[in-house]
């Protein structure tokens, strides 16, 4: 069931989104060769608590940490660990907060030091795919309009669209209806209406879209071992168009 939010609820979610955007920006600054991914998690949790919010992921479906840290071929839901980031890695940071009873959710892929041209190109493609998807998040459009736009752009750049994972609605629950796939046909799927709040999160790979479960039991990696990238924003559907709640 799709839950429509009131203007007051969206205002609270915007506050949650601002907290999240500020925290993730600070975590991105910490990303550099030589830092362990568990240190990024500890910093994220401390910064969230400092802002009188709660980590949105910790304890959700048993997830033991506050921050998802997925490196290189790891697509999403990677567990923070003692792994030391090295020059040339690409690390996806996925973070959520719970504030005054409402969630916000956001992700970004960050280069570690100097990365290859192909890694830069992949990260930029993911970022641009998200921007294109957000432009389609208007009342009267459909979920398929978003997915089709993302898919066409990603595939035009020569990359694979991850199909087994998708975006979602968000509110008092982290994952609500509707599902927001990163592929699809125009005009198909749930219609977007004013008051919906959704997460759009393109995930792409240098190779094909097939995934395998990571050894940690939580994450997903590309089956062919090739590099992946992931970006996400929380967006409100309003009469004035899409409003990104997770940007500064």
What residue ranges of the chain have pLDDT lower than 50?
A: none
Q: 202, 130 in Cβ contact below 8 A?
A: yes
Residue ranges of the domains in the chain?
7-244
Other beta carbons within 10 angstroms of residue 193's beta carbon come to 12
Other beta carbons within 10 angstroms of residue 227's beta carbon come to 24
Question: What's the confidence (pLDDT) of residue 159?
Answer: 98
Number of residues written out for the chain: 248
Question: What's the confidence (pLDDT) of residue 185?
Answer: 98
For the stretch 56-105, pLDDT in tens is 999 999 999 999 999 999 999 999 999 999 999 999 999 999 999 999 99
Other beta carbons within 10 angstroms of residue 68's beta carbon come to 25
Question: What's the confidence (pLDDT) of residue 130?
Answer: 98
Q: Omega before 128 cis (within 30°)?
A: no
Question: What's the confidence (pLDDT) of residue 215?
Answer: 80
Report which of 98, 99, 57 is spatially closest to residue 79, judged by C-alpha positions.
57
Question: What's the confidence (pLDDT) of residue 217?
Answer: 86
User: Does 7-244 carry CATH code 3.90.230.10?
Assistant: yes
Q: Which residues pair with 104 in a beta bridge?
A: 97
């Amino acid at each position: 069931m799709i839950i429509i939010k009131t203007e007051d609820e969206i205002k609270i979610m915007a506050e949650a989104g601002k907290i999240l955007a500020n925290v993730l920006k600070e975590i991105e600054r910490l990303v550099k060769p030589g830092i362990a991914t568990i240190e990024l998690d500890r910093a994220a949790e401390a910064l969230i608590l400092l802002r009188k919010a709660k980590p949105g992921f910790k304890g959700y479906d048993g997830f033991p940490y506050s921050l998802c840290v997925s490196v290189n071929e790891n697509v999403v839901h990677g567990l923070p660990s003692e792994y030391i980031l090295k020059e040339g890695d690409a690390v996806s940071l996925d973070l959520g907060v719970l504030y005054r009873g409402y969630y916000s959710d956001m992700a970004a892929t960050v280069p570690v030091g100097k990365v290859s041209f192909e890694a830069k190109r992949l990260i930029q493609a993911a970022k641009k795919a998200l921007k294109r998807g957000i432009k389609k998040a208007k009342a009267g459009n459909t979920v398929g309009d978003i997915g089709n736009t993302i898919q066409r752009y990603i595939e035009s750049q020569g990359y694979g669209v991850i199909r087994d994972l998708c975006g979602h609605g968000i509110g008092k629950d982290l994952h609500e209806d509707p599902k927001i796939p990163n592929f699809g046909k125009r005009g198909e799927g749930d219609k977007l209406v004013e008051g919906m709040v959704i997460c759009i999160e393109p995930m792409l790979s240098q190779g094909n879209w097939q995934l395998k479960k990571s050894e940690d039991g939580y994450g997903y990696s590309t089956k062919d071992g090739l590099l992946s990238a992931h970006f996400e924003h929380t967006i409100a559907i309003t009469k004035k168009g899409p409003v990104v709640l997770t940007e500064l």
